[in-house]
Amino acid sequence: MRESLERVWEMVRKEFLQIFREPRLRRMIFVAPIIQLVVFGYAVSTDIRQTSTFVVDHDRTSASRELMDAFVASGYFRVVGRSDRPADLVSALDHGDAIVGVEIPRGFATALRDGSGAHVQILLDGTNSNTATVAKGYAERIVQSYAAQVSPVPVQAPIDLRERAWYNPDLASRNYNVPAVVGAIILLVCLLLTSLAIVREREIGTLEQLMVSPLTPGELIAGKTIPFAIIGLVDLAVVTTVALVWFEVPFEGSVFLLVVASILFLLSGLGVGLFISTISNTQQEAFMSSFLIFQPTMLLSGFMFPVSSMPDLFQWLTLLNPLRHYLEIVRGIFLKGAGLADLWSQYLALLVMGSVILWFASTRFRKRIG
């Protein structure tokens, strides 16, 4: 037993030496998390700010100007052009110079004063459906609250709707995206690096040398996967630290539970990485296979696209995706402070899937080298 542990330890040491000697691998380990954090912290944002807006004001009164001031003051809209010809608005939307158009008809101020009901036309470029949906909601809300302010008779809506957003009161998409980067990084490290590391040995023929050494196949698998599990956990620490310190994402839950979930998730990731190594003869093939598995795993995990909007069939499919369960845990722990009572089914799913995948991959791996 002790000798076995020693052999695995030597193997892990050798593996680390190799990883840090190869500049390309070093880059992948350290640069990939940084790029992903920058992209998902900054570029990938579904928030609406400063949406380019074109104004056609036929009324030209202080009331119509006040309304537009309310749009700008909200911070959601930015006026990029004004005109009194509707044709200019059409052209601005066609060219993509503006995404929102506001048309205030003549008689707006009068209708507002005598209470006969004023109208405002809001035109939206729907090509980006998400921006348009959100901008439409904000624009309508701004018009309503402006109306309530200026109406001569006190307006009291019959229903007083109070909204509260829990867990993320500012509704910042960053808080949702940044913690999830952990999942993407761990998956990438496991799939790509594990399979590349094994296939490289096969390519240069050192795998045979390892097989004639006293290492048992189980020790070989352990020695090959443990280094990447450690790298995955280091990446977890890096991403979590950056998320908390730089992006100021709230962390409500337990660190211990997060680490446990990550270890369970690593089982699946390393299993798939090991599996890829058994079906690839060259590093090039391993890279392509990793990519072809990584891509749908990400798309069908709820990482960027909500699972609840998928068709039922695909929602069922995502239950077989370990990343889906892991992301639910990560986001639950970061934002909701959820505990084992809320997340036990996800933990169970990760444990079961991880064991099955790892067992299946090891069996194939043993057969392949045996």
Partner 1 sequence: MVNINRLLAISRKEVIQLRRDTRSLTLAFLLPMFLLILFGYAITWDVKHIPAAVVDQDRSARSRELIDAFRASGYFTLTTWPERTSEIAPLLDRGEVQMALVIPPDFEADLGAGRPASLQAIVDGSDANTATIILAYTQAIVQSYSTGLQVQGVPFRPPVSAQSRVWYNEELSSRNMIVPGLIAVIMMIIAAMLTSLTIAREWERGTMEQLAATPVSRTEVVLGKLLPYLAIGLVDVVIASGLGVALFGVPFRGDPFLLMMLAFFFLTGALGLGMFISAVARSQLLATQMAMLATFLPAFLLSGFMYAIDVMPKPLQAITFLIPARYFLVVTRGIFLKGVHIEVLRVQGLLMVVFAVVGLLLAIRVFKKEIS
Question: How far is residue 140's CA from residue 125's CA, in Å, rounded to a whole number?
Answer: 15
DSSP state of 10: H
Among 17, 34, 73, 148, binds partner 1 (CB under 8 A): 148
Mapped onto helix, strand or coil, the DSSP state of residue 248 is coil
Smallest gap from Cβ 362 to partner 1, in A, equals 26
User: What's the Rg (C-alpha) of the chain?
Assistant: 28
Stretch of 4-12, 40-48, 219-227, 239-247 lying at the interface with partner 1 (CB under 8 A): 40-48
Of 182, 163, 193, the C-alpha closest to 290 is: 193
CB 236 within 8 A of CB 229: no
Residue 19: φ, ψ to 5°: -60, -45
Structure tokens, 312 = 């039922």
- What 3-state DSSP class applies to 101? strand
Residue 140 lies near partner 1 (rule: CB under 8 A): yes
Single out the residue of 139, 191, 193, 349 in contact with partner 1 (rule: CB under 8 A).
139
Binding mask 331-370 for partner 1 (x = CB under 8 A): xx--xx-x---xx---------------------------
Q: Would you give the binding string for partner 1 spanning residues 231-270, x where CB under 8 A is met?
A: ----------------------------------------
Token code pair at residue 95 = 């060219």
Q: Is 48 in the site for partner 1 (CB under 8 A)?
A: yes
Q: Which is nearer to partner 1, 255 or 288 (CB)?
A: 288
Length in residues, the chain: 370
Classify the C-alpha dihedral 153-157-158-162 as positive or negative.
negative
Residue 21 CB, nearest approach to partner 1 (Å): 17
Told to check if 143 binds partner 1 by CB under 8 A, we report yes
**Is residue 101 within 8 Å of residue 126, measured between CB atoms?**
no
Cβ-proximal residues to 12 (8 Å cutoff; 6+ apart), any chain: 223, 226, 227
What's the distance, Cα to Cα, between the start and end of the chain in Å?
22
Q: Which is nearer to partner 1, 19 or 44 (CB)?
A: 44
Report, in Å, the least distance between residue 320 CB and partner 1: 14
Taking CB under 8 A as the criterion, the residue among 30, 34, 62, 296 binding partner 1 is 296
Q: Is 95 in the site for partner 1 (CB under 8 A)?
A: yes
Q: Please, which residue, 41 or 271, has the CB nearer to partner 1? A: 41
Please, what is the minimum distance in Å from the beta carbon of residue 41 to partner 1? 10
Residue 133 touching partner 1 (CB under 8 A): yes
Q: What's the CA angle centered on 199, arms 193 and 204, to 5 degrees?
A: 125
Torsion of CA 180, 171, 343, 37, to 10 degrees: 10
Among 128, 206, 213, 281, binds partner 1 (CB under 8 A): 128
Closest by CA position to 289, among listed 297, 280, 299, 298: 280
Instruction: Spell 344-356 as b/e; 16+ CB within 10 A means b.
Output: eebbebbbebbee
Residues 247/168, Cβ–Cβ less than 8 Å: no
Residue written as tokens 């309304």? Answer: 67
Site for partner 1 in 108-127 (CB under 8 A): 112, 115, 117-127
**Residue whose CB is less far from partner 1, 3 or 163:** 163
Min dist. Cβ of residue 54 to partner 1 (A): 12
Which of the residues 270 through 289 are near partner 1 (CB under 8 A)? Answer: 283-284, 287-288
| C-alpha span between 167 and 176 (Å, rounded) | 10
The binder of partner 1 chosen from 26, 30, 34, 45 (CB under 8 A): 45
Determine which residue in the list 164, 204, 212, 214 makes contact with partner 1, applying CB under 8 A: 164
Beta carbon nearer to partner 1, 259 or 310: 310
Among 4, 9, 22, 52, binds partner 1 (CB under 8 A): 52
In angstroms, give the least distance from the CB of 355 to partner 1: 24
Q: Using CB under 8 A, which of 1, 21, 23, 161 touches partner 1?
A: 161
**Contacting residue, 29, 56, 93, 361, with partner 1 by CB under 8 A:** 93
